Amino acid sequence: MKGLSNSVCIVGVDESDAIGVLPNTSQLALHLEAISNAVRDAGLQVSDVDGIFTAGQHSPALLGEALGLTPRYVDGTSVGGCSFMIMVEHAMLALHHGLCDVAVISHGESGRSGVGVTRGRDASLSGQFETPFGFGGAPTYFGLITTRHMHDYGTTLEQWAQVAVSTRAWAGLNPKAMYRDPLTVAEVLNSRPICYPFNILNICLVTDAGGAVVLTRADRAKDCAKKPVYVRGTGEGTEHVMVTQMKGLPLSEATRVSGKRAFEMAGVEPGDFDHVMLYDAFTSGPPIMLESLGMCEPGEGVTFFEAGRSTPGGSLPINTNGGGLSYTHSGMYGIFPILEATRQLRGECGARQVPNASLSLVNGMGGMLSAAGTLVLSNVA
């Protein structure tokens, strides 16, 4: 495992040409824009790409076809929004063993406008045991995890709201974020109830967006356009699909497993990070992830989001792009935390730059903390 650490680098990242509400851009176009932009960011050509990784409705074969490529390595692992984080690990293995030389991980989702989207998927178990009772849509599942967390640890609606407030403060510094006006705890608590314990401001945006990440082996990365970002550690895990099967609810076993390997591979401790990106589909997600990762004791995750810690200028900045809560969330958000961590480690983030950021934790979930992907990224080998 130590041989994998720092063996590959992220050399290119970018969004699609635009993100937000894009009624005139197809899902496939979001992919193709993101890939071409990220490859340009790396100083490479699309024709250099020989490994394609994607999750969602479009197969890696379709992306290859649309780009006129014949990839020699493809991966379509689809375990939810963290699939793109997991694919960094998969790409690392393929690159390390020479099965491909330039890997691109791509996300494109017309989650809001539904342009070029096909509905419908296998829902056998959900259709029997969840839908008839009114369960459907992420808030109706993640709320169960959140309510139980409040019962077990005494966490409060005010504490969850603080996550939204902190994240919005960062969004205010990101020109690409959809919502940038400052937010207060009271505004979150008084926003429209959706599914207790969630009001609308506890829940992520629904947008159209693409994003892509380009990786290559560390020796070749030095020749790329930007400062390489080393993949120092990776982890992944899955536990369940149906929330009833989440044994340690409200804590996530998939996240624990994923984080453990990533930290071991990287040779880091929870206290070593100076920047953190967590998949925030809901305000309760990031604190529960921090607890599941062992960054703190169960029930203490919310304390990370107090002013002066996660917030701009704070001691441990979290979700500095404005997150799924305020920047963008197309559906499978997991590519975007990787973009932001890379940009922070390159020092490209302008007003929201974390001074001297050198070690970034990226962690995401698929489904309802069902799957997890963890990355430890650094700008030094």
Partner 1 sequence: MELERPLPAPITPETRPFWDGLKEGKLLLPRCDDTGQAFFYPRAVSPFTHSRNISWIEASGKGTLYSFEILHRPFVREVKTPLPYVLAMVQLEEGARMLSNLINVEPDPQVIRCDMPVEVVFHKLNDDVTLPLFQPAS
Are 6 and 219 in contact by the 8 Å Cβ rule? The answer is no
Write out the residues near partner 1 by the rule CB under 8 A: 124-125, 127-137, 139-140, 143-145, 147-148, 151, 192-197, 242-245, 249
Instruction: Write down the least CB distance from residue 2 to partner 1, Å.
Output: 34
Instruction: Write down the least CB distance from residue 258 to partner 1, Å.
Output: 21
Nearer to partner 1, 121 or 192 (CB): 192
Q: Residue 58 gets which letter from DSSP?
A: S
Tell me the β-bridge partners of 348: none
Nearer to partner 1, 154 or 355 (CB): 154
Chain mean position to CA 218: 23
Nearer to partner 1, 133 or 355 (CB): 133
DSSP output for 304-318: GGSTTTTSTTSSS-B
Are 6 and 230 in contact by the 8 Å Cβ rule? The answer is yes
Closest CA to 108 of 352, 317, 331: 331
Instruction: Write down the least CB distance from residue 206 to partner 1, Å.
Output: 13
Nearer to partner 1, 75 or 239 (CB): 239
Instruction: Write down the least CB distance from residue 202 to partner 1, Å.
Output: 12
CA 51 – CA 105 distance, rounded (Å): 8
Closest CA to 326 of 136, 187, 159, 229: 187
Vertex 104, ends 51 and 349: CA angle to 5°? 160
Nearer to partner 1, 127 or 175 (CB): 127
Instruction: Write down the least CB distance from residue 231 to partner 1, Å.
Output: 34
Instruction: Write down the least CB distance from residue 242 to partner 1, Å.
Output: 7
Nearer to partner 1, 140 or 353 (CB): 140
Instruction: Write down the least CB distance from residue 184 to partner 1, Å.
Output: 21
CA 40 – CA 45 distance, rounded (Å): 7
Vertex 319, ends 235 and 243: CA angle to 5°? 55
Judged on CB neighbours under 10 Å (0-12, 13-18, 19+), 272 is middle
Nearer to partner 1, 193 or 270 (CB): 193
